[in-house]
Amino acid sequence: MSKLRSDPLIFFSAAGFITVFVAATIGFGDSARELYSHVSAWMMDHFSWLYIGGVSAVFLFRIVISVSRYGNFRLGDDDDEPEYSLPVWFSMLFAAGMGATLMFWGAAEPLHHAFNPPRGGMESMSDSAVRQAFEFTYYHFGIHMWVIFTLPGLAMGYFVYKRKMPARYSSIFSPLLGKRVYKWPHRFLWRRVWTRA
């Protein structure tokens, strides 16, 4: 029978940080909201290009991978056969990755952006604000969102199913760190909080 195992240092460090962060946010109320708004606005003003450019670069990288000889690389043993067909895999991924998201944010995001236009100083709920709101929503729910899903999925799939490593994010960094990836301080920075025995 499997049981849950936790690394005490990682678990209590994460739980402690979350508890302090939530308590401080509740305790400081409006001051915390203003601080988060300023930080968010500063990051949007200075690093939005990095977000959009980074995801676009990863998109191009995924296209190159797909059309190269690595596009037919099997994530598993060389003689393994796919457990499900491509349409079934796509349906499962779409349902898991988008189903719940679309049910809420598919309506909430364009309404939020139309009511609070993110750019251009437009009047709330004006025609131009509504058009911009849908432009943002189409971008967020388009190809770029799938790129963000597929990059860590591809990396995890390779190291778990091809290299037979533990299903932890730390496994992705093994080419850079070797065996040190599971030792201090890398263990604290990258290891998953829990694993199943």
Q: For residue 66, report the phi and psi dihedrals to the nearest 5 degrees.
A: -65, -40
Tokens 């895999």 appear where? 89
Domain residue ranges of the chain, discontinuous segments joined by +: 8-73, 86-150
Which tops the pLDDT comparison, 169 or 90? 90
Phi and psi based region of residue 120 (left: phi greater than 0; alpha: psi -120 to 50; beta: remaining): left
The whole-angstrom separation of Cα 32 and Cα 24 is 8
The whole-angstrom separation of Cα 29 and Cα 82 is 51
Check pLDDT > 50 for residue 195: no
H/E segment holding residue 194 = strand 194-196
pLDDT digits (tens, 9 = 90+) for 177-189: 877 776 666 555 5
pLDDT digits (tens, 9 = 90+) for 61-114: 999 998 999 888 888 888 888 889 989 988 888 887 777 778 888 889 999 999
